[in-house]
A and B are shown apart, each in its own frame.
Chain A
Amino acid sequence: MEWNFLAVMRDFDLLMLGLVNTLKITGLALFFGIPIGLMLALSRLSTWRIPSGIAAFIIEIFRTTPPLVQLFWFFFALPILVDIRMTPTIAAVVTFSIQSSAFFAEIFRGGILSIDKGQWEGAKAIGMTYPQSLRRIILPQAIKRMIPAFMERSIELLKTTTLVSTVAYADLMFQANEVAQKTFRPLEVYTIVALIYFVLIFSVSQLSIVIERHLAKSGEGTVH
């Protein structure tokens, strides 16, 4: 058995295309997932039972069921229920936007609840409405605390997007399969792809550790 990386290198551009698509899906999922997560969190926190209940339901379903099941459901089942033309891209973006939003919702909720009640009181006492208090006083303080959890979840999302290869979305994993079949060199292909993922994810992880350390230094004390 000899290693032959040259065969793989010739199709490196295919792998790079896959990488770009992986980043695209992750980016889109974050782009939609974070605001949806905030909305879910605010619904969950609201005192009205119906929005709170619906949000809790969505959050629990998407956190408790496996992402692959969710992806298959959106790709195979949804088009029958709702008359839309389903593509791998749509299924991928929809699945991972909602899936990540459920996790982001819990991060938002935890962050908002962690802010001292006195801050709500201070804002209320000068006549601020609930949305004003949330936007100007609570969220700015909460966001700083939530950044580590956000980064961790985003990295998880990056890893989870490999699932889109199962519905033929041309991400890095899918391209790896294609190139491996094409070159008959699965060992080299999959090892290189694993390496690419590793370098990507490890770098982002290290970056997030640096950011966390920087945040901790800038004083995250609960001051009144």
Chain B
Amino acid sequence: MGHAWDFATIFQNWFALWAGLKGTVFIFLITVFLGLSGGLIVGILRYAPSRWVNLAARAFVEVFRNTPVLVQIIWFYYAFPILTGIETDPFLAAVLGISLNTMAFSAEIYRAGIQSIDLGQWDAGKAIGMTYNQTLRRIILPVAIKQVLPALTNRGIEVFKMSTLASVVGYVETLNQAKLIADLNFNPIEAYTGVAIIFFVVLYPVVQGTYVLERILRRGDQ
């Protein structure tokens, strides 16, 4: 290959990389929490019997699913402050973009899960005098959420990967710290290969875990 690999400088700059990693994990935790829990609410609204609620939720989902998440982040960073007068720093813009995007995608996952529950379950709840909300909360959701856990985990993995997009608006996370190191030390190969390895090492076990999760769930159904 003719290139002298030099990971030493990477390790020398570990402080910068560490700051980046913390940034990545932090924004991941926030966006995945907001995205998956907000998505649950939107998903429930998508399934709601009221037509207007349903439609409003549908509109939200379609807008945030059919536009690229980078466009959303940039819109929140540059356009949103002008519209609302609220200043969005890189963190806020990225959180808004990624969370809303995730909410839209996970809403559909939850909705599919709820829809897959046998209608007889609703009847059973109704027959013992439960309200719609009680039936939803106590009978339908526990089963529905369990069934869509693999899909939600996949979404979580996507959210983790999306954290790199926050670098585009200047949020301090792993990728742009790597870029910093690469630009200062002229070792892009080691820097970017290092980042790729970090992401791979973190996510690969999670991906494998999802397969195991799927298998466990499938076996539980039998």
- Give the nearest-CB partner of A197 in chain B: B67
Flag B8-34 by CB within 8 Å of A: 1 or 0 each: 000000000000000000000000000
Contact present for A186 and B179 (CB under 8 Å): no
Is A16 part of the contact surface with B, judged by Cβ < 8 Å? Answer: no
Distance to closest chain B CB from A218 (angstroms): 24
Report Cα–Cα, A72/B196, bound state, in Å.
10
Please state if A191 and B71 are interface contacts (CB–CB under 8 Å): no
Residue of A nearest to B186 (CB): A80
Chain A residues near B203: list those with CB within 8 A: 64-65
On chain B, which size bracket covers the interface? 35 or more
Q: Are B164 and A69 in contact (CB under 8 A)?
A: yes
Size class of A's contact patch? 35 or more
Pick the interface stretch among B47-55, B74-82, B118-126, B142-150. Answer: B74-82
A59-98 near B? 1/0 per residue, CB < 8 Å: 0110111111110110011001100000000000000000
B217 within 8 A of A: no
The answer to whether the Cβ of A173 comes within 8 Å of any Cβ in the partner chain is yes
Q: Are A81 and B67 within 8 A (Cβ)? A: no
- Chain B CB within 8 A of A180 CB: yes
Q: Is B195 an interface residue (CB 8 A)?
A: yes
Given the interface pairs A1-B83, A77-B189, the reply to whether A70 lies near B196 with Cβ below 8 Å is yes
A149 interface contact, C-beta 8 A = no
Among A63, A72, A176, A180, the residue within 8 A (CB) of B175 is A72
Interface of B is mostly: helix
Determine whether the beta carbon of A166 is less than 8 Å from that of B168.
Answer: yes
Q: Is the CB of B167 within 8 A of A68?
A: yes
Residue B36 at the A interface, CB < 8 A? no
Among the stretches A109-117, A118-126, A137-145, A198-206, the one at the interface with B is A198-206
Restricting to A125-159, which residues have a CB under 8 Å from any CB of B? 158-159
Say yes or no: B204 contacts A60, CB within 8 Å. Answer: yes
Contact of B189 with A66 in the complex, beta carbons under 8 Å = no
The interface of chain A, by Cβ under 8 A from chain B, is: 1, 60-61, 63-70, 72-73, 76-77, 80-81, 158-160, 162-163, 165-166, 173, 176-177, 180, 186-187, 189-191, 193-194, 197-198, 201-202, 205
- Report the 3 A-B pairs with minimum CB-CB distance, sorted nearest first: A186-B78, A66-B161, A76-B188
Binding site for A on B (CB under 8 A): 1, 3, 62-63, 66-72, 74-75, 78-79, 82-83, 85, 157, 161-165, 167-168, 175, 178-179, 182, 188-189, 191-193, 195-196, 199-200, 203-204, 207
Given A73-B188, A76-B188, A173-B71, 12 more A-B residue pairs with CB atoms under 8 Å apart are A1-B82, A60-B207, A64-B199, A64-B204, A66-B162, A80-B189, A162-B71, A166-B168, A186-B78, A187-B82, A197-B68, A201-B66
